[in-house]
Amino acid sequence: MVNFKPTRLLKIKRFQLDGTLCVQLYQTYGQEVAPYAALSYCWGGDQPIKMTSENICQHLTRLNYTKMPATIRDAITITWRLGTR
| DSSP character at residue 17 | T
> Tens digits of per-residue pLDDT, 60-75?
998 888 888 888 899 9
Q: Does the model's pTM come out above 0.75?
A: yes
Confidence of residue 57 (pLDDT cuts 50, 70, 90): very high
pLDDT surpasses 90 at 25: yes
How far apart CA 67 and CA 41 sit, in angstroms, is 17
pLDDT value for 60: 92
Give the ranges where the chain is alpha helix by DSSP (H).
56-61, 70-81
b or e along 17-33 (b: 16 or more beta carbons within 10 Å of the residue's beta carbon)?
A: eeeeeebbbbeeeeeee
What are the structural domain ranges in the chain? 8-81
